[in-house]
Structure 1
């Protein structure tokens, strides 16, 4: 049996284009939901996986409808395979029911993993180069050096409560403690 899975991230998005494409691809059953792919709990996906039988094929319009991360995609496709079913993505022309399709899927997954690691590497290199040029990055400090000195003076010399000092500077008591 060909089983279609469709997902959109928000309630204002429409599932029609996906369900039409899945029906045209021969899907006899459709599971669809409106939930972020990053969410661990996807009830329709879980229901579909529970109902898979040997020989079934799960079809999606694009692989990112099934999973948001490579690790998640590999885990879900492995769960499909463990149930004796195959996986097919229409947009990427991936079909794990054939040896060549399974090879292409793993090559594709490896390339995506490589690219994600390269992006992380380039980000780290860029941050390091910025640090060397004196840029620290991140949030600006809540208190200027002069304000920090005043906070310390108010606490030490005037014995003011931290909550009162925080209120005067419009910051949290934790910021005053750190100063």
Structure 2
């Protein structure tokens, strides 16, 4: 879908927050699912001009529509999807995106699961998702540590302090493991591509499950 043509006015001009819809289907032939999502989002109050769409085909999917939607939303807006699996390919991927939205004061709503981060129940459910992902994050951290250890053995650690560390590093690795492209990670987490590449090399990340390969050789 082409980028939304609505011009976003500055908040001090009184331009109200809006609902922004995101749709995703697995292939170009999956037209019925697209219509179902579109109808649900329109019924929920999303303006047709504020709908963004991705059509994934094959193993590679950069999800340009999602990237445009995330660039379009601003503080106070609500990103709306039909189902949770339309936004994230995995729990870690979903949490990474929603956490990024919350950090930018953008709410998230999933119609099918009745999840709305602006409500107490929705916030609680989001916290439950976070608890369920704790083990997955621990595994990611283990791979990061293994990568750092391998890098230290090869003399790659030193000089200036790393730019991406801690929870932000965990979230970025989780997003990449979930299938988010490096370009989308740079946009969503506000990092330079060179910094991201250097960080991934530092921790030994080459793709999901590969960070500790050198440890196992």
Question: TM-score per shorter chain, which class?
Answer: 0.5 to 0.7
Are positions 1:87 and 2:108 aligned together? Answer: yes
Give the structure-2-normalised TM-score: 0.49
Measure how far apart 1:68 and its partner are: 1.1
Deviations 1:125-172 (A, max 9, x none): xxxxxxxxxxxxxxxxxxxxxxxxxxxxxxxxxxxxxxxxxxxxxxxx
Pick from 59, 63, 88: which aligns with 1:67? 88
1:2–1:26 Cα contact (<8 Å) kept = yes
Which residue does the alignment assign to 1:9? 26
Question: Which of 1 and 2 has higher RCO (CA within 8 Å, sep 6+)?
Answer: 2
2:78–2:107 Cα contact (<8 Å) kept = yes
Pick from 69, 78, 84: which aligns with 1:48? 69
| CA radius of gyration, larger in | 1
2:27–2:55 Cα contact (<8 Å) kept = yes
Q: Which structure 2 segments of 5+ residues have no match?
A: 1-17, 137-217
Looking at structure 1, the residues matched to 112 and 36 of structure 2 have their Cα atoms a distance apart, in angstroms, of 13
Pick from 12, 19, 23: which aligns with 2:38? 19
1:37–1:66 Cα contact (<8 Å) kept = no
2:20–2:78 Cα contact (<8 Å) kept = yes
1:37–1:68 Cα contact (<8 Å) kept = no
Measure how far apart 1:99 and its partner are: 3.2
Tell me how large the CA RMSD over aligned residues is. Answer: 2.5
SS of residue in 2 equivalent to 1:106: helix
Measure how far apart 1:106 and its partner are: 2.1
Number of corresponding residues: 116
Looking at structure 2, the residues matched to 95 and 3 of structure 1 have their Cα atoms a distance apart, in angstroms, of 14
2:91–2:129 Cα contact (<8 Å) kept = no
